[in-house]
Amino acid sequence: MPVLPAILPLLIVNNGYSYLAAGLLVTAYNVTSSFTQPLVGWLSDTKGFSVSISLSLLVSAVFIALMGIAKDYYLIMLLAVIAALGHACFHPTALSLVNRLCIRGNRGRITSYFVVGGNFGYAIGPVLTGLLVFWLGLPGLLFLIFPALFMVLALRYLLPGGIAGACQSHSRPESKEGSEQSKKPFVILMIVSVLRAWAVFAAITFLPMFLVTQGYDLMAAGIIMTLMLLAGVVGQVMGGQISDRIGRKEFMIFGLAGAIPFFYLFFASTGIVAVISILLFGFFLWSTFAVAVAMSHELLPHNVGLASGMMLGLAIGFGGLGVAVNGIIADHYSLAAALGTIPIPIIAAILIMFILPYPWKSVSPRSVRTVSP
């Protein structure tokens, strides 16, 4: 997924694309992926449609790699769209598999492992791409097919007996009772996820520029952002496990609220204190992502594919659009003002979480002791 943005500078230099034309390639990929994932999930839930995980992975890898040798702009656009379709088919199917491996007591932990895998891939992608393109130019992208082929073979080996067998042992027959579950709680959770994604993308977009204006060089700013993302990875694993113990709604509020003071402490401090503050901001904000995905599966137990496509597709896509608001603020006021408004969607998400019709584990019947007369 992050390969295309990483090669945009070379596409602009080598092929003479304008910034708008280059940006439209990323837009085409993101829009196709974000808006197709819910459709794939819905077809999976209602029609039994599914594309194997290994085939989805192979399609994405092959068509991204072919961009390295394509010259025509519209062909590259087509390759981006087809690669995005492979990406869109992956998440609903893979998360449906993850869901069948879970029980309520470990759903947060298992889901966080899956999400963290994606985060590591997102972090490794630009580095691997940069090395290949530095050594071999754009045709070096063809070598990305090899790790994909390795994983396809590994999945083909693992899925029939290992993971599939585990899924069958954990799967429970779906009863028709409750199949018409209310969608209102899920819609509310989606709004929370959009607001959270808005804050995440705004931070990723504008923090590096702000760090440079504060005297950090590009390398130092990049390292700080990488460390923030890694802190977020740790936060996701810990958040998933803690939510299994204290409750998902409780942890969502705790994680979102915990990010805000460290964000403002970053602005009010310098040196090592500022760096530690931004790492803790990333830790708390990112810790809620896997928990929200786990909640979506519990809110729509008979539509896990649709829930997965909405959470990892539409929520992230619409959250990314919110960054434009911060950009307008930066243009009209200042970069600091644009960053200073990042906690606003987080605060809104916290307030909405309080009205989400989802049980509080801390006040569940099993946790309330009754006193006999």
Q: Please write the tens of the pLDDT for every residue from 86-97.
A: 989 998 888 888
Grade residue 160 by pLDDT with cuts at 50, 70 and 90: low
Task: For residue 373, tell me if it sits in a domain.
Answer: no
pLDDT in tens, 308-323: 889 988 888 888 888 8
Check whether residue 149 and residue 183 sit in a common domain.
no
162 pLDDT higher than 50: no
Confirm whether 366 is domain-assigned: no
Domain end (from 139, 169, 199):
169
User: Does 171 have pLDDT greater than 50?
Assistant: no
pLDDT at 181: 58
What's the average model confidence in pLDDT over 121-143?
85
Domain that holds residue 222: 179-357
Query: Do 201 and 102 share a structural domain?
Result: no
> In the chain, how many domains are there?
2
Which pLDDT belongs to residue 174?
A: 46
**Domain stops at, among 123, 147, 169:** 169
For 280-306, write each residue's pLDDT tens digit. Answer: 999 999 999 999 999 999 999 888 889
Which CATH number fits the domain that encloses residue 291?
Answer: 1.20.1250.20
pLDDT at 173 over 50: no
Same domain, 204 and 340: yes
Q: What is the pLDDT of residue 93?
A: 84
**Per-residue confidence (pLDDT) for residue 123, from 0 to 100:** 74
Looking at the fold, whether 47 and 190 belong to one and the same domain comes out as no
Do 150 and 206 belong to one domain? no
**Co-location of 285 and 350 in the same domain:** yes
pLDDT (mean) for 133-142: 90
Q: What is the SS3 assignment for the chain?
A: CCHHHHHHHHHHHHHCCCHHHHHHHHHHHHHHHHHHHHHHHHHHHHHCCCCCHHHHHHHHHHHHHHHHCCCCHHHHHHHHHHHHHHHHHHHHHHHHHHHHCCCCCCHHHHHHHHHHHHHHHHHHHHHHHHHHHHHHCHHHHHHHHHHHHHHHHHHHHHHHHHHHHHHHHHCCCCCCCCCCCCCHHHHHHHHHHHHHHHHHHHHHHHHHHHHHHCCCCHHHHHHHHHHHHHHHHHHHHHHHHHHHHHCHHHHHHHHHHHHHHHHHHHHHCCHHHHHHHHHHHHHHHHCCHHHHHHHHHHHCCCCHHHHHHHHHHHHHHHHHHCHHHHHHHHHHCCHHHHHHCCHHHHHHHHHHHHHCCCCCHHHCHHHCCCCCC
Residue 56 lies in a domain: yes
